[in-house]
Amino acid sequence: MGRHQSILELMHEGGYNPKAGNPIPMELIYQSNFISFEEYKNEVDRQRRVAQAGSNAAAISAMEADAEALNDRAVRAGVPRRFLKYAVDLTHIDDLNNGRGVYIFGSQGSYKSTVASSMLRGWLRDHPFGVARYVRSTELMDSFKATFNTRESASDVMRQFAGVDLLLIDDLGKEVASSWAVSKLWELFDRRYGEELPTIVTSQHAPDELVGHLSDSGDTESALAIVSRLHETFALIDMGDVDHR
């Protein structure tokens, strides 16, 4: 094939200016017979690899930014940082999206809190503008008890937890609850149920065992109501009695 055009002619006719970021397309250079077909093919492959590498790097960078933003939201929700290294869990996202709860029970060290936190992060990823809250049951009960000695009322505390889009109560049954605290816990469950807001709960107690623990407070009626609500509107997950730690 004869050399029928020079590089300068191609630049002039096509308006190409490599220095201005407008290089001559490789196809035109090949058609003008300035390089062999093998050289042309190798150069096209090289440019594709460079473009793909750039695309992959951009995609990885975007994924890392998304993961960092998700973890920032989880930390603001109260999730301990030690749980952020695990993958998000979407196995019960439909339950949560439909206002149902998830009750995860098992022995100490069965990764209940890990799974629950991963579900919370999965829900956050599915709801970019949703607000979640992680709280240990002992801290929840302490928040209610503290209203006896502060200007904050029990109603103020109730609003903080009853109205959040997703609530995670970790280690229910670990606290020593009074009958008043158990009645507030039942009110919390009932209000979230009425608003169809999802709740994730972890506990060392199976639901029916939880009745006995909460009934120790003296408020058996509220304890039975809480467990009845768990059976009615929560997916129950038994993590077993193996300590994995």
pLDDT on residue 153: 79
What confidence tens digit (pLDDT) does each residue in 141-171 have?
888 888 776 667 778 889 889 999 999 999 9
Decide if pLDDT at 31 tops 50.
Answer: yes
pLDDT on residue 236: 96
Q: How far apart are CA 239 and CA 226, in angstroms?
A: 21
What percent of the chain has a predicted confidence (pLDDT) above 70? 77
Per mean pLDDT, which range of 50-59, 102-111, 128-137 is the poorest? Answer: 50-59
| Residues ≥6 apart with Cβ < 8 Å to 22 | 15, 16
Decide if pLDDT at 1 tops 50.
Answer: no
If residue 104 lies in a helix (H) or strand (E), which one and from where to where? strand 101-105
Average pLDDT over residues 15-24: 60
- CA-based nearest residue to 177, from 156, 196, 203, 198: 203
pLDDT band at 84 (very low <50, low <70, confident <90, very high): very high
pLDDT on residue 155: 84
- CA-based nearest residue to 168, from 115, 126, 209: 115
pLDDT on residue 168: 98
pLDDT band at 123 (very low <50, low <70, confident <90, very high): very high
Q: How many angstroms separate the Cα of 130 from the Cα of each of 67, 156, 168, 202?
A: 16, 21, 14, 21
pLDDT band at 178 (very low <50, low <70, confident <90, very high): confident
pLDDT on residue 164: 95
Average pLDDT over residues 101-120: 93
Asked if 176 and 136 count as a contact pair (C-beta separation under 8 A), the reply is no
Mean pLDDT highest for which of 104-113, 161-170, 210-219, 234-243? 161-170
Mean pLDDT highest for which of 14-28, 107-121, 135-149? 107-121
Where exactly are the structural domains of the chain?
80-238
If residue 175 lies in a helix (H) or strand (E), which one and from where to where? none
pLDDT on residue 77: 95
Terminal-residue alpha carbon distance, the chain: 73
pLDDT band at 36 (very low <50, low <70, confident <90, very high): low
Decide if pLDDT at 7 tops 60.
Answer: no
pLDDT on residue 3: 45
**Count of beta carbons in the 10 Å neighbourhood of residue 135:** 20
CATH homologous superfamily of 80-238 = P-loop containing nucleotide triphosphate hydrolases (3.40.50.300)
Sign of the CA dihedral running 212, 216, 221, 223: negative
Average pLDDT over residues 202-229: 89
Q: Which DSSP string corresponds to 3-46? A: ----HHHHHHHHT-BGGGTBPPPHHHHHHTTSS-HHHHHHHHHH
Decide if pLDDT at 101 tops 90.
Answer: yes
pLDDT band at 89 (very low <50, low <70, confident <90, very high): very high
